[in-house]
Amino acid sequence: MASIAGLGVWFETMVSRIYVIEEARHVRYAREELARQVRAAGKRRLAFDRLVIARAAYLTGRRLIAPEVYRAVGIDPAVGRRAVNRPAATVTCGAGGAAPESGSDARRTPGGGPAIGGPSWAR
Q: Could you list the mean pLDDT of each consecutive 10-residue stretch along the chain, which spans 123 residues?
A: 69 92 96 95 94 90 80 88 70 49 46 46 41
- Do the domain assignments include residue 48? yes
Counting the structural domains of the chain, the total is 2
Within 13 A of 94's CA, how many CA atoms are on the CB side? 20
Contact 92, 99 (CB under 8 A): yes
Residues 49 and 72 in one domain: no
Written in H, E and C, the secondary structure of the chain is CHHHHHHHHHHHHHHHHHHHHHHHHHHHHHHHHHHHHHHHCCHHHHHHHHHHHHHHHHHHHHHHCCHHHHHHCCCCHHHHHHHHHCCHHHCCCECCECCCCCCCCCCECCCCCECCCCCHHHC
The pTM is what?
A: 0.43
User: Is residue 92 situated within a structural domain?
Assistant: yes
Residues 6+ apart with CB under 8 A from 107: 92, 99, 114, 115, 118, 122, 123
Q: Domain range for residue 39?
A: 12-64
Residue 36 lies in a domain: yes
Q: Indicate whether 123 belongs to any domain.
A: no
| The pLDDT of residue 4 | 66
Same domain? 91 vs 49: no
Whether residue 2 is contained in a domain is answered as no
* pLDDT score for 95: 47
In a domain, 1, yes or no: no
